[in-house]
Structure 1
């Protein structure tokens, strides 16, 4: 009978500094795991297991939602639905990429950084997907056809490039300047989110001021609440910061960060669908609509640029073996 030997787990003092997480004392995987060891660890309780599953399962959920909605909304043939299709594709890509990054991040030091480079690139692309959907369905009436509306998606493409570059760069000072690294990484994702949400925030402001009764507004509020929680949990490292070692396997901040992010995306998706349906006739009559080339083209351009940025930072990891940067990355 065949038996599989699960990889041995290590404590925080047995792994290089680059693999350590604040407040997590045990459950670490081997820092030079094979690809098979990484796959086996998915079915072994480590401090990364729930990080993997909390994004792997939602990726399939969003894919299922995409195919289910493709019939009711006619995503493939109706030009009105194409921005939503572009958005949904990014909703499928980012949790799947994150799951893969967490799965294979212990193959080597360089592999860890490259895995998270792709993770950051996918998150940046999701930000652009959100901007495309907001541009098509969520913009307030007063801003339709305005100069800001016209340059909104191109700026979001630029923000995606900046976000990918800044977040990838943030891994280099991680050992010597962890606070700077954390600040840069947060800025890389908070800024695009805030920019994308300008039209939504304005609608929420107007609704609060005029006491509107749009049924979609509470769903938008729920998305904003979970977006805030996602950011707060990522920055605060709670609860493991208060009780190191108590939440090594279940309940640490990265798991909660994943869960809040996915719930926030779910409410965002539901709100966008509601706006699509409720505002369709008015939007089609009053707004020049994004073509398939503008919606999918923006995503494609963003992905190509992000891959180029990831490639450049990946080359930097392997160039100049004796450089100070590489010494920092391998620091124990």
Structure 2
């Protein structure tokens, strides 16, 4: 299919300028490349093949989603998925990776449809991040922990991690609902503190292995991948938190190179390397973790179902609150 650049004339960049779209749809220091809001759904579907300031946000996670699907097929083909009792937990981890990347790509593709759609798209995006955070922590604490770390954490880790993963969705969604553009720093605090808390608990098994077995990265391929995924997460978090490099040169990174695009690229690398790392531990450390726990349906599926229900509740409730607020503003 032909890719449309979408120029309005030979002297203008693709899409609309920031002042031509409502404040809700603008990004700081991004001056051009906006799509028209309030268009039919098909308009935004077609924009997948066009150049605008959301193109790379959509494409990076769409491509990563496809890559993780093929990676999952490759990894699962080397596992007895029917008879291995530990396989469902690994499969849920892979599914959550694909899910959050898919939801993120969709959120950026459709977020300009209207104000309500804009909010709901990102509420669903945050739900995907929440599910992925929980799945990553579950896989890492069960497959990747040192035995003494697992024994220390097993009494409280899963419910604590469930709560923190839920707060990722709730805090990011609530701050999106509560604050309007231009967003105050408080919104970033809501987002970063909830994600940081969830990530710290999720990565705790890996951190302790790096702390006590750091030199094993030279001969343990799983540890090598773990180091890469932690590094990519930290770099990606920097670009999520700080509007760089576009702050230093507004207008020059609108289509390619602004911070959120770089954040997406590094998070895609996190997903890929984390899947490789967990798989290596899943295969190579069977004698370790099989002596520590036996999967049960409630452990593998129960907490996930509860998390999805809780996150959907947040999306529905806050979506209605956004609609009610917009209705009040129209009446005023």
The TM-score, its normalising length taken from structure 2, stands at: 0.90
How far has the Cα of 1:58 moved from its partner?
A: 1.2
> 1:16 maps to which residue?
22
Which structure 2 residues correspond to residues 136-285 of structure 1 after superposition, within 5 A?
A: 136-146=142-152, 148-171=153-176, 172-175=178-181, 177-208=183-214, 213-284=219-290
> 1:317 maps to which residue?
322
Q: Does 1:100 align with 2:106?
A: yes
- 1:319 partner SS: helix
Q: Distance in 1 between matches of 2:280 and 2:77?
A: 16
Confirm or deny: 8 A CA contact 1:6 1:41 kept in the other structure: no
- 1:216 partner SS: helix
Confirm or deny: 8 A CA contact 1:7 1:29 kept in the other structure: no
> 1:119 maps to which residue?
125
> 1:330 maps to which residue?
none
Change in 2 beyond 3 A, CA 1:24/1:177: closer
Which structure 2 residues correspond to residues 50-89 of structure 1 after superposition, within 5 A?
A: 50-89=56-95
- 1:25 partner SS: coil
For each residue in 1:72-119, what CA deviation from the matched residue of structure 2 results, as whole angstroms up to 9, or x when unmatched? 112343112221111001001001001111111111011101000000
Change in 2 beyond 3 A, CA 1:274/1:246: same
For each residue in 1:44-65, what CA deviation from the matched residue of structure 2 results, as whole angstroms up to 9, or x when unmatched? 1000111111111111111222
> 2:308 maps to which residue?
303
Unaligned runs of 5+ in 2: 9-14
Stretch deviating more after TM superposition (169-178 or 18-27): 169-178
For each residue in 1:251-293, what CA deviation from the matched residue of structure 2 results, as whole angstroms up to 9, or x when unmatched? 1111111000010111111111111111112322x21222233
Which structure 2 residues correspond to residues 31-46 of structure 1 after superposition, within 5 A?
A: 31-46=37-52
How far has the Cα of 1:151 moved from its partner?
A: 2.0
- 1:150 partner SS: coil
Stretch deviating more after TM superposition (66-75 or 133-142): 66-75
Q: Does 1:130 align with 2:108?
A: no
How far has the Cα of 1:241 moved from its partner?
A: 1.1
- 1:42 partner SS: helix
How far has the Cα of 1:159 moved from its partner?
A: 1.2
Change in 2 beyond 3 A, CA 1:6/1:244: closer
How many residues align? The count is: 320
Change in 2 beyond 3 A, CA 1:109/1:210: closer
Confirm or deny: 8 A CA contact 1:216 1:275 kept in the other structure: yes
- 2:257 partner SS: coil
Stretch deviating more after TM superposition (266-275 or 119-128): 266-275
Confirm or deny: 8 A CA contact 1:90 1:129 kept in the other structure: yes
Unaligned runs of 5+ in 1: 328-332
Confirm or deny: 8 A CA contact 1:79 1:292 kept in the other structure: no
Confirm or deny: 8 A CA contact 2:65 2:102 kept in the other structure: yes
How far has the Cα of 1:210 moved from its partner?
A: 9.1
